């Protein structure tokens, strides 16, 4: 099984290095036989190749069994015509990574502003209000006059049904409770279609309890009592906002794992940005990308029916929880270690498994 490592920008190379060390330790401990390939993306690729994506990138993506993408400085990449392509957007579209799965759970040893909870946001990932990914050609934002801008949102039954199915399948492995988040009271056609599509899929899962909440009320519920939720299924932009909120409510967005999954490919991706202000200082928390890599191993295990990968993913998550309790972490979550030392300590926990 080949893992393609794409370190990215800012703190990306540091947290990617720590993640690779943890994955290598998990491979040895569970007999996964992982092989690694590394390619530059973002500024490193732009400097080397004149574009943010290296040559023959699509073919090399498809040859990998799993992908780990470090954070990229997407705000710097403004002109795709000059080779400044957002790597994350490209991967999601090119590989049809339609499901962004983002768990959020509190951990012992990390102060959280609310009580303990364990939930997952399942976010539609390839349409919605994201102007760079919901059109076959061109962009879904238009400047009609200097004072008039129009943004188009795409919602399809096909994409709504498959993200719903991903959420219900996940709920069957958890507490069998799905909450649909929407704004169908105002966006009657678009969110109405999304909600109807999800409810149609729900009929195939009679064991799962289903409810729905309007998105603005959902934000209040998430802050007041996140423990009442299990699997949350929603559209692209609502899910983007809600998953950042729930990750921060767990104690730190640095503990927010994230996997972008499709039918045939999946990509681990940290929930946070490239943090250029602390790049190269050995301060960055690698746990978000490491937890994302654990989700990737779980996806690989589910897809290929390889129990060792599922167990390895669970072991990495358990090791992170143990490391946080023991203070073997970066300062933002209560530890005193640097980025690389945190990765090494976590790898040692897996080697002792």
CATH number at residue 233: 3.40.718.10
Domain match, 177 and 261 both: no
What is residue 133's predicted lDDT score, i.e. its pLDDT?
67
Q: Which domain holds residue 165?
A: 113-249
Domain match, 227 and 287 both: no
In a domain, residue 274? The reply is yes
H or E element in which residue 19 lies: helix 12-30
Regions of the chain with pLDDT less than 50: none
Angle value at C-alpha 204, between 201 and 210, nearest 5 degrees: 65
In a domain, residue 150? The reply is yes
Catalytic position from the list 9, 183, 298, 311? 183
Q: Which of 194, 195, 130, 202 is nearest to 166 (CA)?
A: 202
Domain match, 241 and 297 both: no
Number of domains in the chain: 2
Q: Looking at the DSSP assignment, which residues form a beta bridge with residue 154?
A: 128
Longest dimension (CA), the chain: 63
Domain match, 84 and 129 both: no
Domain match, 126 and 241 both: yes
In a domain, residue 103? The reply is no
Known active-site residue 158:
no
Known active-site residue 130:
yes
In a domain, residue 108? The reply is no
Domain match, 145 and 68 both: no
Catalytic position from the list 216, 228, 307, 336? 216
Out of 216, 249, 282, a domain closes at 249
Catalytic position from the list 9, 130, 230, 298? 130
Domain match, 220 and 121 both: yes
Start-to-end CA span in the chain (Å): 21
What is residue 208's predicted lDDT score, i.e. its pLDDT?
98
What is residue 131's predicted lDDT score, i.e. its pLDDT?
67
Return d(Cα 284, Cα 274) in angstroms, integer. 10
Domain match, 158 and 244 both: yes
Distances (CA, A) of 91 to 9, 58, 102, 155, 280: 16, 9, 17, 20, 26
Known active-site residue 118:
no
Domain match, 117 and 245 both: yes
pLDDT, tens digit (0-9, with 9 covering 90-100), for 178-234: 999 999 999 999 999 999 999 999 999 999 999 999 999 999 999 999 999 999 999
In a domain, residue 105? The reply is no
Catalytic position from the list 28, 65, 132, 244? 244
Coil/strand/helix, residue 203: coil
What is residue 137's predicted lDDT score, i.e. its pLDDT?
76
In a domain, residue 228? The reply is yes
- This prediction's pTM: 0.93
Return d(Cα 182, Cα 217) in angstroms, integer. 10
Catalytic position from the list 9, 230, 240, 298? 240
Domain match, 218 and 195 both: yes
Q: Looking at the DSSP assignment, which residues form a beta bridge with residue 180?
A: 212, 233
In a domain, residue 346? The reply is yes
Domain match, 195 and 121 both: yes
What is residue 112's predicted lDDT score, i.e. its pLDDT?
86
Out of 222, 249, 276, a domain closes at 249
Known active-site residue 240:
yes
What is residue 21's predicted lDDT score, i.e. its pLDDT?
97
């Amino acid at each position: 099984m080949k893992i393609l490592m794409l370190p990215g920008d800012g703190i990306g190379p540091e947290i990617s290095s720590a993640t690779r060390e943890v994955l290598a330790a998990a491979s040895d401990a569970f007999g996964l036989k992982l092989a690694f390939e590394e390619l530059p993306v973002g500024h490193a690729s732009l400097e080397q190749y004149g574009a943010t994506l290296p040559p023959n990138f699509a073919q090399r993506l498809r040859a990998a069994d799993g992908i780990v993408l470090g954070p990229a400085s997407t705000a710097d990449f403004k002109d795709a015509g000059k080779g400044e392509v957002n790597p994350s957007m490209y991967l999601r579209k090119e590989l049809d990574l339609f499901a962004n799965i983002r768990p959020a759970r509190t951990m012992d040893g990390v102060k959280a502003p609310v009580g303990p909870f364990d939930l997952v946001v399942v976010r539609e990932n390839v349409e919605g209000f994201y102007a760079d990914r919901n059109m076959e050609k061109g962009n879904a934002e238009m400047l009609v006059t200097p004072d008039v801008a129009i943004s188009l949102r795409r919602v399809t039954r096909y994409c709504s049904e498959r993200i719903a199915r991903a959420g219900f399948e996940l709920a069957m492995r958890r507490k069998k409770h799905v909450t649909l988040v929407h704004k169908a009271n105002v966006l009657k056609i678009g969110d109405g279609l999304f909600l109807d599509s999800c409810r149609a899929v729900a009929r195939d899962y009679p064991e799962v309890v289903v409810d729905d909440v309007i998105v603005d009320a959902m934000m209040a519920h998430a802050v007041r009592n996140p423990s009442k939720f299990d699997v949350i299924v929603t559209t692209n932009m609502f899910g983007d906002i809600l998953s950042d909120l729930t990750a921060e409510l767990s104690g730190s967005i640095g503990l927010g794992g994230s996997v972008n999954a499709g039918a045939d490919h999946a990509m681990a991706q940290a929930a946070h940005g490239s943090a250029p202000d602390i790049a190269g200082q050995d301060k960055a928390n690698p746990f978000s990308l490491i937890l994302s890599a654990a989700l990737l191993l779980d996806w690989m295990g589910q897809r290929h029916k390889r129990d060792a990968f599922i167990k390895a993913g669970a072991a990495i998550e358990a090791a992170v929880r143990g490391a946080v309790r023991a203070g073997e972490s970066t300062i933002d979550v209560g530890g005193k270690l640097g980025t690389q030392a945190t990765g090494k300590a976590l790898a040692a926990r897996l080697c002792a498994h």
